[in-house]
Amino acid sequence: FLVHSSVYKLLSASLTTASFSLLNQCLKAAQDCGLYEKCGSLRSEYVLACTKRAPGSHRCNQHKCYRALRRFLERVPEEYSLGVLFCPCTNTLCGERRRKTIVPSCSYQDMEGLQPNCLHQQSFCRRDDLCRSRLADFLNNCQPSHLTASGCLKDSAGLCLRAYAGLIGTIMTPNYISNSSADVSLWCTCEGSGNQWQECQRLQRLFTHNACLQTHILCFSGMQMQISNRCQKCCY
Amino acid sequence: SAAMRSLLKLLLILSCIYTGDGHWLRLLTGRQTEDGQREASGKQREIPVRARLPRSTLDSQCELRSILLKVRDLELGYDSDETVLFKYCSGTCPHVRSNHDLSLNNLLLSGVIPQPVPGGQWHSSPCCRPTHHEDMAFLDNSHCWHKVEKLSAAGCTCMG
């Protein structure tokens, strides 16, 4: 609680002093990360792991990239790691930087552009102990609800964002889908779902149409000023 | 006179403490404040530069130092506004001249060994150099990731 309220205060302070149109908030988050030695070095480590070509192929080593991403998120204090992931953007330059943060060419997209079926991806995830627990955390803490003021079933005080970040570096890594919005999605499709089409859609929409998740993402970055009472209610 | 002798011994010991141990105390407290500063500046957001200028002979020992820079200030040709904590080795090394160093110096002075060509350097004492390096990665202003191998020093030693 205390950690997150201080983080929010820090971010709102930095947002009020910075002029939005001139300063790229995601660049500032990257610079803040660079200031803190541990953040800078672990960030370099995952970028190196995710950009290095695997021997004998033009692709990256996705396994190593995932592992380095998880290390970054686990070892760096949240004010820096989540700051870099959820920095607020008002222009496409900032948005593009934000989208590229996790080196999506390795950790998110497939080189050939092929998307697996979402339910297949989920079943692969469930077979892995780590991914299974991370997915369960996400489903638990980011469950949307129409009944609550925050849009979340649980007033989880920042656990939703942490749970979402916990999926990064697993088989079900989500990411921003464009540089002009904060919309996120899994890299998967519902084609070939057959009878399970609705279940597949439900899973996809947990990322693309999740009011709870969106609120948390925007609250963290301080963007949702107009529904600030919703932010207050949800966590900070 | 026995009392005088023990008093003299006491004075001698005290003077040693003043010059010798005082040296140690300053070294210790100097280290602590450096670490304290390092801790604090690690978590602060305002500190622009962490280069340490030598204030006394103690601070100019061969050590790993760091400076916060913009990537473009490295003048490697990258167009990026990101910042990097550039670490380097600097400081003096204890000058213990071996017989080799003494002889080399004598032969240079007497002209038996030709003077070094311009550009070539003869080091007659150990120098402060990195033991190993660290790679670094950043996003440039065109949103491409770059990696610079062996950019920063990761540890220092007196070589040679």
CATH number reported for the structural domain that contains residue A105 in this entry? 1.10.220.110
Residues in chain A with CB shorter than 8 Å from the CB of B138 are 30, 44, 47
**Number of structural domains in chain A:** 1
**Considering only alpha carbons, which residue of chain A is nearest residue B149?**
A48
Helices (H), chain A: 2-17, 25-35, 37-51, 62-75, 78-85, 92-100, 104-107, 118-127, 129-141, 159-167, 197-208, 211-221, 228-234
Interchain proximity B81–A27, CB inside 8 Å = yes
Across the interface, of A30, A32, A41, the residue whose CB is closest to B139 is A30
State the best of A25, A35, A96 to mutate against chain B, taking most chain B CBs within 10 Å: A35
Question: Are B71 and B83 in contact, with CB atoms under 8 Å apart?
Answer: yes
* Tens-digit pLDDT profile for residues A89-132: 889 999 999 999 999 999 999 777 789 999 999 999 999 999 99
Interchain proximity B139–A40, CB inside 8 Å = no
Interchain proximity A44–B147, CB inside 8 Å = yes
Across the interface, of B68, B135, B145, the residue whose CB is closest to A35 is B68
Residues in chain B with CB shorter than 8 Å from the CB of A38 are 42
State the ipTM, two decimals: 0.78
For A122, what's the count of Cα atoms within 13 Å in the CB-facing half-sphere?
19
Instruction: Give CA–CA dist B79/B141, Å, rounded.
Output: 6
Which residues lie across from A186 on neighbouring strands?
Answer: A174
Q: Is B48 on the interface with A (CB under 8 A)?
A: no
A210 is in which domain, residue-wise?
2-235
Per-residue pLDDT of chain B (160 residues; tens, 9 = 90+): 777 877 777 776 666 544 444 444 343 333 333 333 343 444 444 444 444 444 445 568 999 999 999 999 999 999 999 988 899 999 998 887 788 888 888 888 898 888 777 777 767 678 899 999 999 999 999 999 999 999 999 999 998 7
Q: Report the gap between the CA of A16 and the closest CA in chain B (Å).
A: 16
For residue A177, the SS3 value is coil
